[in-house]
């Protein structure tokens, strides 16, 4: 493969960026905080969900440092700040500027007459939420969660909402790894990844589908570096050639830094067309079957449905797989050979897989590929969905789920003494539709940035504005706060880095990482403002003001989070003796039944799932327009955390100080009569009409023909609300059908 002439990822660039991200006024605070990141007795880095390596002194990365420093922001968006700016004015600012305003400092209530937020006391704020919630039916309120929330808050929140009578839990997971949970549950009986960090030390090949760890999980590159040095193959499947995946200089390896050396990470790099991954997974299986490399004993002992799968795969021709994947026959053969020859393989995946219409099918086909070779339940092998938010997996474990299992509800009801609602609630897409058409009247968000993260932005915004009340429990100013309902509250909370002395004692919370390790996290810095409350305290305040005859004493629970953990121990499987076990250094491992070859599916075996190749999206839509359609994927830059924009740069892709960039193939541009650097509008085409965003600069990039890439959230107005993954309803923001229009100069 050709070597790019750019500097390696990580390395001095990362160190420089880490230091640059520290505001000078903040240096001492930041350095103390960083020393505590992911350390026993310290806090869990809010950056991502990649697990911590035990016994490592520096357990953070450049982007974790950015996340921490932005939370430690010394600037305050306080009452004086809000007195200076109307909501209409702030709505005109970009996401980067909003983030620059500093930490939210006190509770604020929207005043429609002046179009400004005014201070309100905590008690009055809670009373207002209670009033609004009591005035609507449980079906008319929606309760969003973003994945930074700790386990204790998440548990308390779902308990409150179920006491209120609802399962309407749209959450960031709906837009993220929902298809992974769905696919894995049906195939192997557990919705989580089966590998631990240790497996990366034993794998002979890692197949990495649709993720960009140099930016989004930089500590994973350290893991991959060690694997690569051992001779493990790292096989990347990604339409974009991501420079950060080619060579890596580990900032935690002094010799590598001093010698300015670097390790090759990707041993092989394949660039399929967007959404071509289902066909690639089928090609892997076809190679295995044709080579007779399948693990008969494993298939016989542990699975069902092999014959049907094999028939379907053998009936699919190589030509069809070439056509649907966008890879050449020789490339598919090479991929197949690598997979057949590897005694133990891990398959990892990220948003490049989950944000497609056929996400669930693709993930199940990847699991099929693992199963045919017996790559589950043995060292160095397994499924590794790489989660996003630092506690998104834990939030689900705690019951943030619009489709809770009856067993979970039963245990919850029994422990607390009430009958939880059984009916399934609404996910993100369904919530937006309900808010838009008037079924939703109150919207409460525990963290996150619903207005910016969700698809079809104008429709989401209209829905938010129609609410009787919007409430944001939050740390920093963002767009969601600027789309108030008729009544609106901003309730500022402590961040994870900050000391929490709720109830007058030093409190800690817990989180679960991407590999099912549960551990404590404790803030070390003084709070940004004396008026902040902890997330559990805010949830308790709202619950108390809303529920008339609650069987739960929320004040008592939040006076000592150990009490919340005792309740969790009674309700959530795997958490028995929670308080004691979580105090062991490094916490405890929740276990994974599939890893132990226990199959908790309906048939007591792992199930092969048959899926046909999907009809090409563009063929389906091309009839709607005379323009030539292309597929657009939306990705993160190196300097953003989802909707939080730290800087306008994207170092590894060579972008400086701009975000409205459209990455395109040079030949496509020539064929369309467009020139590099020209400004274009992007128009998406859907059954219900067109959507448009303006003023993107064309940037030639190493990307297959017919494919485009741009950053989110700027492109979210293009994602049709009903363009989502089958079954999981995850917005298909990695395959948006679009055409380009030259902008007048
Ligand atoms: N610094 C930082 N860290 C983060 C985040 C952040 O925003 N900033 N976000 C966090 C969250 S919530 C999440 S979910 C994760 C996200 O982590 P990733 O999953 O890495 O997120 P994306 O930037 O969406 O990148 C997706 C990758 O998939 C590729 N891709 C796009 N479409 C396709 C496709 O059709 N097929 C294949 N094979 N590849 C494709 C893109 O080129 C890109 O390299 O990171 C978490 N960590
Ligand atoms: N087009 C497109 N859209 C996408 C994606 C994509 O790849 N493409 N990715 C999707 C994915 S994977 C995800 S996970 C979602 C993310 O969706 P969200 O989780 O809703 O968005 P974030 O940007 O992570 O939320 C940032 C806000 O969280 C608040 N916050 C930060 N820390 C804390 C805290 O400790 N407590 C509280 N209460 N609040 C805090 C701050 O106010 C900050 O502004 O976006 C999705 N949207
Ligand atoms: Mo995510």
Q: How far is the CA of 419 from the centre of ligand 1 (A)?
A: 40
Beta-sheet strand order (sheet of 588-589): 509-512, 517-521, 588-589
Residue nearest to atom 13 of ligand 1 (CA): 388
Residue of 172, 212, 269 with the most ligand 1 atoms within 8 Å of its CB, for mutation: 212
Q: Does residue 148 share a domain with residue 87?
A: yes
Residue 13 in this model has a pLDDT that exceeds 90? no
Please state the domain count of the chain: 4
Q: How far is the CA of 61 from the centre of ligand 1 (A)?
A: 17
- For residue 545, how many other CB atoms are within 10 A of its CB? 19
Q: Does residue 321 share a domain with residue 300?
A: yes
Output the pLDDT for position 39.
72
CA of 646, nearest ligand number = 1
The model's confidence at residue 4, banded by pLDDT at 50, 70 and 90, is: very low
Q: Does residue 222 share a domain with residue 128?
A: no
Output the pLDDT for position 1.
35
Higher pLDDT, 38 or 326: 326
Residue 91 in this model has a pLDDT that exceeds 70? yes
* Mean pLDDT value of segment 15-26: 62
Tokens of 627: 């323009």
Assigned domain for 649 exists = yes
Least confident of 149-163, 215-229, 436-450: 215-229
Q: Does residue 313 share a domain with residue 226?
A: yes
Q: How far is the CA of 176 from the centre of ligand 3 (A)?
A: 4
Closest approach atom of ligand 2 to CA 712: 1
Output the pLDDT for position 412.
98
Q: Does residue 66 share a domain with residue 83?
A: no
Output the pLDDT for position 558.
98
**Could you give the C-alpha distances from 349 to 69, 427, 515, in angstroms and in order?**
28, 22, 14
Tokens of 97: 């500027």
* Mean pLDDT value of segment 369-385: 97
Residues contacting ligand 1 via CB (< 6 Å): 47-48, 63, 176, 209-212, 215-217, 237-240, 242, 274-275, 277, 350-352, 388-389, 633, 635-636, 640-642, 734
Q: How far is the CA of 549 from the centre of ligand 1 (A)?
A: 45
Residue of 173, 177, 429, 475 with the most ligand 2 atoms within 8 Å of its CB, for mutation: 475
Q: Provide φ and ψ at 197, rounded to 5°.
A: -55, -35
Q: Does residue 337 share a domain with residue 302?
A: yes
* Mean pLDDT value of segment 147-155: 96
Q: Helices 62-71 and 11-20 sit at what angle, rounded to 10 degrees?
A: 0
Closest approach atom of ligand 2 to CA 454: 47
Q: How far is the CA of 173 from the centre of ligand 3 (A)?
A: 6
Surrounding ion ligand 3 within 5 Å at CB are 176, 388
* Mean pLDDT value of segment 521-546: 96
This prediction's pTM: 0.95
Output the pLDDT for position 29.
61
Residue 530 in this model has a pLDDT that exceeds 80? yes
DSSP string, 91-108: HTS-HHHHHTT-EE-S-E
Pairing of strands 247-249, 263-264: antiparallel
Output the pLDDT for position 7.
65
Q: How far is the CA of 436 from the centre of ligand 1 (A)?
A: 29
- Mean pLDDT estimate for the chain: 93
Q: Rounded to an integer, what distance in angstroms lies between the CA atom of residue 564 and that of residue 158?
A: 12
CA of 235, nearest ligand number = 1
Assigned domain for 447 exists = yes
Q: Does residue 36 share a domain with residue 51?
A: yes
Residue 331 in this model has a pLDDT that exceeds 50? yes
Q: Does residue 274 share a domain with residue 206?
A: yes
Tokens of 488: 């609106």
Of 71, 97, 113, at which residue does a domain stop?
A: 71
**Could you give the C-alpha distances from 73 to 65, 379, 501, in angstroms and in order?**
12, 43, 20
The model's confidence at residue 532, banded by pLDDT at 50, 70 and 90, is: very high
Q: How far is the CA of 146 from the centre of ligand 2 (A)?
A: 6
Output the pLDDT for position 541.
98
What sign for the dihedral angle of Cα 571, 475, 391, 524? negative
Give SS3 for 442: strand
pLDDT in tens, 22-76: 555 565 566 666 666 777 777 887 777 788 777 665 566 778 778 888 888 889 9
Whether the bond into 713 is cis, omega within 30 of 0: yes
Q: Rounded to an integer, what distance in angstroms lies between the CA atom of residue 522 and that of residue 38?
A: 10
Q: What percent of the chain has pLDDT over 70?
A: 94
Of 386, 409, 434, at which residue does a domain stop?
A: 386
Higher pLDDT, 616 or 89: 89
Output the pLDDT for position 5.
47
- For residue 364, how many other CB atoms are within 10 A of its CB? 25
Q: How far is the CA of 212 from the centre of ligand 1 (A)?
A: 5
User: Could you tell me if 103 and 55 are in contact, meaning their C-beta atoms sit under 8 angstroms apart?
Assistant: no
Residue 484 in this model has a pLDDT that exceeds 80? yes
Q: Does residue 184 share a domain with residue 157?
A: no
User: Could you tell me if 442 and 140 are in contact, meaning their C-beta atoms sit under 8 angstroms apart?
Assistant: yes
Output the pLDDT for position 248.
78
Q: How far is the CA of 326 from the centre of ligand 1 (A)?
A: 20
CATH code for the domain of 244: 3.40.228.10
Assigned domain for 681 exists = yes
Q: Does residue 103 share a domain with residue 51?
A: no
Q: Does residue 309 share a domain with residue 247?
A: yes
Assigned domain for 598 exists = no
Q: What percent of the chain has pLDDT over 90?
A: 85
Closest approach atom of ligand 2 to CA 476: 42
Q: Does residue 359 share a domain with residue 248?
A: yes
Assigned domain for 27 exists = yes
Assigned domain for 591 exists = no
Residues contacting ligand 2 via CB (< 6 Å): 146, 148, 172, 175-176, 351, 355, 388-389, 446-450, 453, 473-476, 478, 493, 495-496, 535, 634, 642-644, 712, 715-716, 719, 733
What sign for the dihedral angle of Cα 397, 398, 400, 405? positive
User: Could you tell me if 287 and 279 are in contact, meaning their C-beta atoms sit under 8 angstroms apart?
Assistant: no
Residue 256 in this model has a pLDDT that exceeds 90? no
Assigned domain for 91 exists = yes
Residue 382 in this model has a pLDDT that exceeds 60? yes
Output the pLDDT for position 230.
95
Output the pLDDT for position 3.
37
pLDDT in tens, 537-582: 999 999 999 999 999 999 999 999 999 999 999 999 999 999 999 9
DSSP string, 186-204: HHHS-SS----GGGGGT-S
Output the pLDDT for position 152.
98
Output the pLDDT for position 2.
35
* Mean pLDDT value of segment 494-504: 96
Residue of 149, 389, 448 with the most ligand 2 atoms within 8 Å of its CB, for mutation: 448
CATH code for the domain of 713: 2.40.40.20
Closest approach atom of ligand 1 to CA 66: 1
User: Could you tell me if 215 and 637 are in contact, meaning their C-beta atoms sit under 8 angstroms apart?
Assistant: yes
CATH code for the domain of 130: 3.40.50.740
Assigned domain for 700 exists = yes
* Mean pLDDT value of segment 453-465: 98
Domain ranges, residue 333: 178-386
Of 386, 414, 430, at which residue does a domain stop?
A: 386
């Amino acid at each position: 493969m050709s070597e790019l002439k750019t500097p390696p990822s990580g390395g001095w660039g990362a160190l420089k960026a880490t230091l640059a991200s520290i505001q000078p006024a903040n240096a001492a605070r930041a350095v103390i905080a960083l020393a505590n990141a992911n350390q026993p007795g310290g806090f869990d880095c809010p950056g991502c969900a990649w697990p911590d390596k035990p016994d490592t002194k520096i357990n953070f990365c450049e982007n974790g440092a950015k996340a921490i420093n932005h939370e430690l922001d010394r600037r305050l968006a306080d009452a004086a700040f809000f007195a200076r700016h109307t909501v209409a004015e702030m709505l005109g600012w970009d996401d980067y500027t909003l983030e620059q305003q500093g930490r939210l400092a006190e509770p604020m209530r929207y005043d429609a007459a002046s179009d400004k937020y005014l201070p309100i006391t905590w008690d009055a704020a809670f009373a207002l939420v209670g009033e609004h919630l009591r005035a609507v039916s449980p079906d008319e309120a929606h309760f969003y969660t973003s994945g930074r929330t700790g386990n204790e808050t998440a548990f308390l929140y779902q308990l409150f909402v179920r006491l209120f009578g609802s399962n309407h839990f749209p959450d960031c997971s709906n837009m993220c790894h929902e298809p992974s949970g769905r696919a894995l549950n049906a195939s192997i009986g557990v919705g989580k990844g089966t590998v631990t960090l240790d497996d990366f030390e034993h794998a002979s090949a890692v197949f990495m589908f649709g993720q960009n760890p140099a930016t989004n999980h930089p500590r994973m590159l350290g893991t991959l570096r060690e694997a690569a040095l051992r001779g493990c193959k790292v096989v990347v499947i990604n339409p974009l050639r991501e420079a950060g995946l080619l060579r890596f200089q580990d900032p935690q390896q002094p010799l590598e830094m001093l010698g300015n050396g670097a390790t090759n990470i990707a041993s092989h790099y394949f660039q399929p067309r967007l959404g071509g991954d289902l066909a690639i997974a089928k090609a892997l299986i076809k190679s295995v079957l044709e080579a007779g490399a399948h693990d008969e004993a494993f298939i016989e002992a542990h699975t069902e449905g092999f014959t049907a799968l094999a028939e379907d795969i053998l009936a699919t021709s190589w030509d069809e797989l070439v056509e649907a994947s966008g890879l050449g026959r020789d490339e598919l053969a090479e991929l197949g050979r690598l997979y057949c020859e590897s005694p133990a393989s891990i398959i990892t995946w990220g948003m490049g897989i989950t944000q497609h219409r056929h996400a669930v099918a693709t993930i199940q086909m990847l699991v099929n590929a693992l199963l045919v070779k017996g790559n589950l339940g043995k060292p160095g092998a397994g499924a590794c969905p790489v989660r996003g938010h630092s506690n998104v997996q834990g939030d689900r474990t705690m019951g943030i789920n619009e489709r809770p299992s009856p067993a979970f509800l039963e245990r919850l009801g029994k422990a607390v003494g009430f009958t939880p609602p059984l009916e399934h609630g609404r996910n993100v897409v369904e919530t937006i539709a309900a808010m838009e058409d008037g079924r939703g009247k109150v919207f409460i968000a525990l963290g996150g940035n619903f207005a910016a993260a969700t698809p079809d932005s104008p429709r989401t915004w209209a829905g938010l504005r129609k609410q009787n009340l919007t409430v944001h429990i939050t740390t920093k100013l963002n767009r969601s706060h600027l789309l108030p309902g008729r009544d609106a509250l901003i309730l500022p909370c402590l961040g994870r880095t900050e000391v929490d002395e709720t109830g007058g004692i030093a409190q800690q919370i817990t989180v679960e990482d991407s590999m099912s390790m549960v551990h404590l996290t404790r803030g070390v810095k003084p709070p940004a403002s004396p008026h902040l409350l902890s997330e559990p305290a805010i949830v308790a305040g709202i619950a108390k003001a809303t529920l008339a005859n609650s069987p739960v004493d929320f004040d008592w629970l939040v006076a000592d989070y150990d009490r919340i953990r005792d309740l969790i121990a009674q309700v959530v499987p795997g958490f028995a003796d929670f308080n004691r076990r979580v105090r062991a250094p490094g916490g405890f491992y929740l276990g994974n039944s599939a890893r132990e070859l226990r199959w908790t599916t309906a048939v007591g075996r792992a199930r092969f799932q048959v899926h046909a190749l999907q009809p090409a999206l563009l063929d389906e839509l091309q009839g709607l327009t005379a323009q030539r359609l292309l597929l657009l994927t939306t990705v993160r830059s190196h300097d953003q955390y989802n909707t939080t924009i730290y800087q306008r740069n994207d170092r590894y892709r060579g972008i400086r100080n701009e975000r409205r960039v459209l990455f395109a193939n040079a030949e496509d541009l020539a064929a369309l009569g467009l020139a590099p650097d020209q400004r274009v509008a992007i128009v998406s085409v859907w059954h219900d009409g067109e959507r448009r965003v303006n003023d993107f600069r064309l940037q030639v990039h190493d990307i297959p023909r017919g494919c485009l890439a741009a950053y989110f959230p700027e492109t979210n107005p293009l994602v049709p609300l009903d363009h989502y993954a089958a079954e999981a309803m995850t917005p298909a923001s990695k395959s948006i059908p679009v055409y380009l229009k030259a902008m007048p100069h």
